Chain A
Amino acid sequence: MHQTLAVARRELAGYFYSPVAYVVGALFLLASGLWFFYRIFIPGNEASLRPLFEAMAYIMVFATPLLTMRLVSDEIRSGTIETLMTSPVTDAAVVTGKFLGVMAFYLVLLAGTVVFLAIMAVYGQPDLGVAATGYLGMVLLGAAYLSVGLFASTLTPHQLVAAIVGTAILAIFAIMMQVLVANAGEPWNYLAAKLNAMTYFRDFSRGMFDTRGVVFFLTATGLFLFLSVKTLESRRWR
């Protein structure tokens, strides 16, 4: 437990040293800020962050793999993986620690968008319950996306490859499935609907707490963390 937290703390601190994290953070906040001011913050509009949450969910397809790409790839490239894996720490603790570290940074980024809610509250009465479920949805979606990115990072010593693979996997679940839902014939469109991350997320952004979504995102998180542990373990056997 100590060790997991030590890894998490190091990763979180690492983001504050890393220019990539600042750039990703700035771009994310800029994009969501622009969206907020040009699409939502308009007189006569509904005082709701719902459209913003959807936009953020799409931005995350590209932003989260940039945050996770260095997690394991960089350790493999620089060789620090060797000292890490010969320390008395289980591979699961390493993966969990890294996941918690990037999750913490993600929450910091997300906290930055609370400003929009505050501005909205000055001029109108946004439904705080809806906003809360929206944020819960963002946290669940983030956990799943970050675990996918972390998994991609365990596959290769190259950060860029990790980012591309991560984005590709996320794009399948967040974008391609939507396309399939609309275009594929039976029964594929039904299957695609079950695997479409955005279906589940939309419920949250509309203020609906749906356990199916909770189960979907948590299962995905668990699955990809498990796969990360396995790929990390498999490095020993190669």
Chain B
Amino acid sequence: MIEVENLTKWYGPVCAVDNISFRVEKGMIVGFLGPNGAGKSTTMKILTCYMPATSGRASVAGYDVLSDSMNVRRNIGYMPESVPLYPEMRVRELLMFRAALRDIPRRQRRSAVDRVAERCWLSRPEDMMRRRVGELSRGYRQRVGLAEVLLHNPPVLVLDEPTIGLDPAQIRAMRELIRDLGAEHTVILSSHILAQVEQTCNHLIIIASGRIAAAGAPAELRQRVVGPSRIIAELRGAEEATLVETIRALPGVRDVQPSTSDGWTRLAVGGDQQVDLRTEVSALAAARGWQLRELRREVGSLEDFFVQITYEQNVRWMERMTKSA
């Protein structure tokens, strides 16, 4: 449904999107996950024909975003991040205007508006459709924005931060709605909150500093994107230095960080990714007659990975700022 190849976007001297490629198949709900300023919105703006890429190509529903822009726009529903609406218009009026812009035939506009109003819970309370957009709460504005996007029933929906600024109940409702929409539409949504996209999407693309850091189904990513494994062991019965020395000699151990208090030495042992050092450590303790009071394994989670890349991006950003300053 969506194909992106070597897409790059420079804003003056700043590279916002750096040579990314990905594919989105029909019926997928794709979560674009990345810290603020990672290039999510820029990619979406290129896909929706708001701005052209510096280089690379992208196509939506088989149409190229540059050479066949009108057909791309017909097949896409795009909700920008801030959900910009005309505050002076009434909800129905706004939706009717959008329907006309979308070139929906005059006779079908009313039924299209009623359909999306129903779908996005705008039909209740009674007077909702007659209210001015400027008077609506954030949650309702978001619903109007989503309703607009669904008017022409596009095969592809592009939603930039659809849950930002909503309260927890609204976030859950929005998430369920998006999941429902996934049955008929291919959806790309962006977020900088992992927990949110994880529950909604069946495919994640993690992006940082304009590059794709990882991509795949959430469960698959959880498996794949584990950081180095790490075991924690608390031991007694030998000098700290001896303990460290002995453990470090085990195969697959990368580093050992000791800390001693109350006569117990706590060791954080970092190992290679697939290695589980627990059996070796406990066998070693038994053989040497050490007392073992705690032994557990910590696996780097997707959260850790996400926090890590966010942190790295921020560091790079700070470096660039100090360099230019």
Query: Of A17, A82, A89, A90, which is within 8 A of B84 by CB?
Result: A82
Closest chain B CB from A135 CB (angstroms): 31
A39 near B: Cβ within 8 Å?
no
A79 to B141, CA, bound (A): 14
A104 part of interface (Cβ distance < 8 Å)? no
Pick the contact of B50: A3, A18, A86, A89 (CB < 8 A): A86
* A86 touching B102 in the complex, CB below 8 Å, given contacts A80-B86, A236-B51, A236-B52: no
Given contacts A14-B88, A17-B88, A236-B51, contact A82 B80 (CB under 8 A): yes
Beta-carbon contacts of A145-157 to B below 8 Å, as 1s and 0s? Answer: 0000000000000
Within residues 90 to 132 of chain B, which ones have a CB less than 8 A from any CB in chain A? 93, 97-98, 100-103, 106
Q: Which residue of B lies closest to A235 (CB)?
A: B51
Supposing A79-B82, A79-B84, A82-B84 touch, asked if A3 and B100 sit within 8 A by C-beta, the answer is yes
Q: Which has the most chain A C-beta neighbours within 10 Å: B85, B89, B100?
A: B100
B148 within 8 A of A: yes
The minimal Cβ–Cβ distance linking A236 to chain B, given in whole angstroms, is: 5
Question: A88 touches which one: B74, B84, B148 (CB < 8 A)?
Answer: B74
Count of residues in A whose CB is under 8 Å from the partner chain:
26
Interface: B171 (CB within 8 A): no
Say yes or no: is A6 at the interface (Cβ < 8 Å to chain B).
Answer: yes
B70 sits at the interface (CB 8 A): yes
Q: How far is the CA of A201 from the CA of B45 in the complex (A)?
A: 46
Known: A17-B88, A83-B148, A236-B52. A89 touches B82 (CB 8 A): no
Q: Does B203 contact A (CB under 8 A)?
A: no
Q: Does A7 contact B (CB under 8 A)?
A: yes
- Which residues of chain B have C-beta atoms less than 8 A from A10's C-beta? 86, 89, 97
Chain B interface size, under 10 / 10 to 19 / 20 to 34 / 35 or more: 20 to 34
Residue of A nearest to B73 (CB): A88
Instruction: Quote the shortest CB–CB distance from B78 to chain A (angstroms).
Output: 5
Q: Classify the interface of chain A: helix, strand, loop or mixed.
A: helix
Q: Judging by beta carbons under 8 Å apart, are A83 and B84 in contact? A: yes
Distance in angstroms between the alpha carbons of A191 and B273 in the assembled complex: 81
Distance between Cα atoms of A82 and B78 in the complex (Å): 9
| Interfacial residues of chain B within 51-90, with CB under 8 A of chain A in the complex | 51-52, 70, 73-74, 76, 78, 80, 82, 84-89
* CB of A73 to closest CB in B, whole Å: 14
B310 contacts partner chain A, Cβ-Cβ < 8 Å: no
A87-B101 CB under 8 A given contacts A14-B88, A79-B80: yes
Chain A window 65-79, contacts with chain B (Cβ cutoff 8 Å), 1 for yes, 0 for no: 000000000000011
Given A6-B100, A14-B88, A82-B84, A237–B52 Cβ distance below 8 Å? yes
- Closest residue of chain A to B94 (Cβ to Cβ) is A10
Which residues from A are CB-within-8-Å of B97?
Answer: 6, 9-10
Which of A2, A9, A84, A85 is within 8 Å of B103, CB to CB?
Answer: A2
Interface membership of chain B positions 17-54, coded 1 if the CB is closer than 8 angstroms to chain A and 0 otherwise: 00000000000000000000000000001001111100
Please, which residues of chain B bring their CB within 8 A of the CB of A81? 84
**Is there an interface contact between A3 and B103, defined as CB atoms closer than 8 Å?**
yes
Residues 1-50 of A at the B interface (beta carbon under 8 Å): 2-3, 5-7, 9-10, 13-14, 17-18
Q: Which residues of B contact A3 (CB under 8 A)?
A: 100-101, 103
Which chain B residues lie closer than 8 Å to A88 at the CB level? 70, 73-74, 101-103
Residues of chain A contacted by B85 (CB below 8 angstroms) = 80
Interface residues of B (CB under 8 A from A): 45, 48-52, 70, 73-74, 76, 78, 80, 82, 84-89, 93, 97-98, 100-103, 106, 148
Q: List 8 A-B contacts (CB under 8 A).
A: A5-B100, A13-B89, A82-B78, A83-B148, A87-B101, A88-B70, A88-B74, A88-B102
Closest 9 pairs between A and B when the two form their complex, measured CB to CB: A6-B100, A79-B84, A80-B84, A88-B73, A17-B88, A86-B48, A82-B80, A87-B101, A88-B74
